[in-house]
Amino acid sequence: MKSHWGALSRHLSTIRGGSTLRTGWICQSCRVQARRKLSSSSAALREAKDKPYYVTTPIFYVNASPHVGHLYSMLIADILKRWQVLKGKQAILSTGTDEHGMKVQRAAEIQDVHPKALCDANSETFRDLARKANIANDYFIRTTDPEHRDAVEYFWARLRESGHIYETKHEGWYCVGDETFYPHSMVEKRVSPLTGKAFMASTETGNAVEWTEEKNYHFRLTAFRDRLLQFYDDNPGWVVPNNRFVEVISWVQNNLEDLSISRPISRLDWGIPVPDDPSQTIYVWVDALINYITVAGYPVWPPGSEHKKGWPADVQVVGKDIVRFHSVYWPALLMALDLPPPKRILSHGHWLMSRQKMSKSVGNVVNPFFALDRWGVDTMRYFLTYNGAMANDSDYSNEFIVDRYKKGLQGGLGNLLNRITRPKNWSVRTAVAAMSENKDEALSEVVDIQKGHLTKIAEKAAGHMEELNPSGALKEIMEFVFETNRFLQNAAPWDKSKEGDTVAVNQIVFYAAESIRVVGILLQPFIPEKSAELLDRLGVGHDRRTFQHAELHADDSYGTPMVPLGEGAQRGLFPPIPVED
């Protein structure tokens, strides 16, 4: 391992054009020169205009099976990535698994298997979930990957040579479940409702903590208090939603302590050893956070090309329980090495069952594989996005899924598509061709109102996406679907057809079809398979499905179905789904 590490260091030294960086201390003048070079690189990262849009999910612990919360994190990140692709921008999505640490070590011990065997099996399950949910991830990283280990070792060595790491004895309350130490102010005595026994717990998560005394390495986190607070002040929308950002700022102001970043190998041996000190294992959260830059090519970043693989990340999607790690520890670690922090942190709430936190002991955990099989991939994508929340927790139930499906997908979108494309007394293609030749034709009041809604929907949806609010964007699009159904009912083209008013029929059918076409384009990041089928049924060419085409009169070639439209409810875009008791 040491010979491999030495080779990597020499390779990186050549790339950076400097003397070989050692894992020990270096002189102050060398350190200053290195920082100047890296500051220059950081500026290039911030200013690069051709940087891909980079989105990350948290990497998921492999000590247990995936649940619906993991699926939700993947889905939100996937929608953000697909939206950028829809707008014509290169975008990258990374997900993966966090495979080191005490939780994994203990889970392997309980199952009497080697930790790597547990990681291999469970990591593949998360990879399968991404595939099944149609997540368009470009990378699936594992913290047991050799290139990630190289990146972590190099990151650690640079932290230490820069004077940000020191060795000391540490005492404190440690939580295995949360993989973190808590200060006295965040620990309290509680009584287990199951056993009646008293235990010490984190006031933040409710998980049990244990008193630990050990020698390990610390990161000088408190040295970054003022810099962190200034960064937060300079970037008021950095953590979304704002209620979590307020909590982050308060935590840095009142609870910041130097961070214990290693564990004695006698207590934790499943992890990356500290370079040049095999008696210690690198803290799992330092290891895990670095995955985001490993994916982006760190540390092999030739000057001027640091941004080519996406760093700094544009959005990092995390659950509310790991906000502090991503918005306090992570930016401070990056600042220590003069690397730019991510542009934004998007934190979402948890999923509850009957307003209770999902728990294996209670038996109310949703298996995402079963849910995807039962309801369909796009139905689950639609429900989770529509009902999911960022600032608050969300309630999951099969009844809610059925309700959203019937009202939004089957009765809203699917019904609208059928009402326009299936009737024999008009032709979408004829209406599109006629209106393309008569764009300035006077419109009836009801049609003119629909036109006004149509010209604004893409901009409204884009506004929500800029605010990192996929749920708001989806609700905006679906409200337009409902409005278009109301328009069609009020305009009654079937009556105009009986009267022989061809001009009125073509106007109504055209603006309804245009509305469906634009909706189909905008829904592609949310329900990719069903939106593609919708556009096929409408006859929209595959090269005319970009965000630029999501506006009135942007396409005059559609109207001839590419697939059979069928008859009856079962052959509709959203057929009735069987509901089990």
Of the candidates 319, 348, 377, which is a domain's last residue?
A: 348
Based on the domain organization, do 343 and 464 belong to the same domain? no
Based on the domain organization, do 340 and 416 belong to the same domain? no
Strands 198-202 and 187-191 come out as antiparallel
**Are residues 327 and 298 in contact, defined by beta-carbon separation less than 8 angstroms?**
no
Question: Residue 202: which pLDDT band, with cuts at 50, 70 and 90?
Answer: confident
215 alpha carbon, distance to own chain's centre: 36
Residue 357 lies in a domain: no
CA–CA separation, 237 and 229 (whole Å): 13
Based on the domain organization, do 280 and 429 belong to the same domain? no
Question: Residue 2: which pLDDT band, with cuts at 50, 70 and 90?
Answer: very low
What confidence score (pLDDT) does residue 41 get? 46
What average pLDDT does range 60-86 have in this prediction? 96
What average pLDDT does range 211-235 have in this prediction? 94
Based on the domain organization, do 327 and 457 belong to the same domain? no
Based on the domain organization, do 341 and 443 belong to the same domain? no
Length of the chain as a residue count: 581
Residue 296 lies in a domain: yes
Question: Residue 48: which pLDDT band, with cuts at 50, 70 and 90?
Answer: low
Based on the domain organization, do 135 and 21 belong to the same domain? yes
Residue 346's φ and ψ, nearest 5 degrees, are: -110, 115
Based on the domain organization, do 474 and 559 belong to the same domain? yes
CA–CA separation, 189 and 203 (whole Å): 9
Flag whether pLDDT at 222 surpasses 70.
Answer: yes
Residue with tokens 């990719």: 528
Flag whether pLDDT at 269 surpasses 90.
Answer: yes
163-177, 248-262, 265-279, 292-306: the lowest-pLDDT one: 163-177
- 368: CB partners within 8 A, 6+ apart: 66, 67, 68, 70, 71, 129, 133, 380
Flag whether pLDDT at 371 surpasses 80.
Answer: yes
497 alpha carbon, distance to own chain's centre: 48
- 230 or 441: whose pLDDT is higher? 230
Percent of the chain residues past pLDDT 70, beyond the cut: 90
Reported as a single tens digit per residue, the pLDDT across 492-514 is: 999 999 999 999 999 999 999 99
Flag whether pLDDT at 173 surpasses 50.
Answer: yes
Strands 277-282 and 273-274 come out as antiparallel
Based on the domain organization, do 330 and 415 belong to the same domain? no
CA–CA separation, 275 and 260 (whole Å): 16
Based on the domain organization, do 205 and 327 belong to the same domain? yes
E-only strand ranges, 306-427? 315-319, 345-348, 351-353, 356-357, 394-396
Flag whether pLDDT at 236 surpasses 60.
Answer: yes
Question: Residue 570: which pLDDT band, with cuts at 50, 70 and 90?
Answer: confident
What confidence score (pLDDT) does residue 18 get? 37
Based on the domain organization, do 338 and 416 belong to the same domain? no
Based on the domain organization, do 139 and 40 belong to the same domain? yes
Residue 391 lies in a domain: no
Based on the domain organization, do 410 and 319 belong to the same domain? no
Question: How many structural domains does the chain have?
Answer: 2
Please state, rounded to an integer, the average pLDDT across all residues of the chain.
Answer: 89
Highest mean pLDDT among 17-21, 127-131, 193-197: 127-131
What confidence score (pLDDT) does residue 21 get? 37
Question: Residue 442: which pLDDT band, with cuts at 50, 70 and 90?
Answer: confident
Flag whether pLDDT at 231 surpasses 90.
Answer: yes
Full domain range(s) for residue 72:
2-348
The three-state secondary structure class of 331 is helix
What confidence score (pLDDT) does residue 397 get? 94
Residue 319's φ and ψ, nearest 5 degrees, are: -75, 160
Reported as a single tens digit per residue, the pLDDT across 473-486 is: 999 999 999 999 99
Residue 393 lies in a domain: no
Question: Residue 360: which pLDDT band, with cuts at 50, 70 and 90?
Answer: low
The three-state secondary structure class of 398 is helix
Q: What is the CATH number of the domain that holds 109?
A: 3.40.50.620
Residue 235 lies in a domain: yes
What confidence score (pLDDT) does residue 359 get? 64
Residue 429 lies in a domain: yes
Cis peptide before 312 (omega within 30 of 0): yes
Residue 135's φ and ψ, nearest 5 degrees, are: -85, 125
Beta-bridged to residue 165, according to DSSP, are: 219
Reported as a single tens digit per residue, the pLDDT across 413-437 is: 999 999 999 999 999 999 999 999 8
Flag whether pLDDT at 33 surpasses 50.
Answer: no
CA–CA separation, 183 and 200 (whole Å): 12
Flag whether pLDDT at 40 surpasses 50.
Answer: no
Residue 201's φ and ψ, nearest 5 degrees, are: -140, 155
Q: What is the CATH number of the domain that holds 562?
A: 1.10.730.10
Cα–Cα distance list, 69 to 14, 61, 82, 129, 389 (Å)? 43, 12, 20, 12, 12
**Are residues 317 and 55 in contact, defined by beta-carbon separation less than 8 angstroms?**
yes
What average pLDDT does range 541-548 have in this prediction? 98
- 581: CB partners within 8 A, 6+ apart: none
CA–CA separation, 236 and 296 (whole Å): 26
CA–CA separation, 255 and 222 (whole Å): 10
